[in-house]
Amino acid sequence: MCTVCGCGHNSAINPEVSVQSEGTGGSRSFHRGQDTASRIIQIERDLLHENNQFAAMNRSYFVEHRILALNLVSSPGSGKTSLLVRTLADLRDEFPLAVIEGDQQTDYDAQRIRSTGIDVVQVNTGKGCHLDGRMIGNALNELRPQPGGVLFIENVGNLVCPALFDLGEAHKVVVLSVTEGSEKALKYPDMFHAADLMLVNKIDLLPYVEFDIEHCISCARSIKPNIEVLSLSATTGSGMSAWYEWMRRCRPAADGNRVDELSAGTRPCA
């Protein structure tokens, strides 16, 4: 997590590593001192504890305003922004929509969102590889999404750190494209375990790539047996109606009558 990648936390960057050569073959082993390892663990705990406090405040805000918050996560290039743009265009007249857009740099994706007429706040994380609870809270103060709607949080393209950081969302939705390889869930198990829904995107490209959807689903469910899976194409629109229906099913879970369940964190839609 961030104490390893060092995204924005200077105290966690470049902890001492001792290097020891072994034998004549030139093999090397790397050792962290016990004090350094303990320090890293404490930093991790402190970071997540602070984040979870902000996430809890965000979750209370969503419950109070009956907002379904969805945290969209993926590798770079999965088609996450294209999927979001089409979703906004198709659902804009059905219920209130808003977007928090996360990127390390630029506002290119936010400009694409803004072209749909939907309110969006851009969050640039700089060297940071994920959004966190504080960033979302600050964005909410600026965005003020309408009650009873859906808030999409498009996270930074990364399948590692975003798995660990609760933003107060109702669900993490992991987007996987058919160009990425069907064993992706096995390579990034924490993310797929944290997600409630996997969207297999770009199925219009299936005739041109080697991708086994059934194997992909099997890999994901070996990590999380109850993960829901939908296959779709943001380009052609195939399968998008099932994605929209999933959101409609989830929206009642965002009303104020189920505060205890929402406060407990993510869960599958009933």
Q: What pLDDT digit, counting tens, does each position of 144-183 carry?
A: 999 999 999 999 999 999 999 999 999 999 999 999 999 9
Write the CA distances from 1 to 41, 132, 173, 191, integer angstroms. Answer: 11, 13, 19, 12
pTM passes above 0.95: no
Q: Which domains can be identified in the chain, with CATH numbers?
A: 46-263 (3.40.50.300)
Using alpha carbons, select from 164, 203, 204, 206 the residue that is nearest to residue 73. Answer: 164
pLDDT for the residue numbered 33:
58
In this prediction, residue 1 carries a pLDDT of 47
Give the pLDDT of residue 47. Answer: 76
The pLDDT value given to residue 263: 45
Helix (H, G, I), strand (E, B) or coil at 43: helix
pLDDT score, position 128 = 79
DSSP string over 157-200: S-SSGGGT---S-SEEEEEEETTS-TTHHHHSHHHHHH-SEEEE
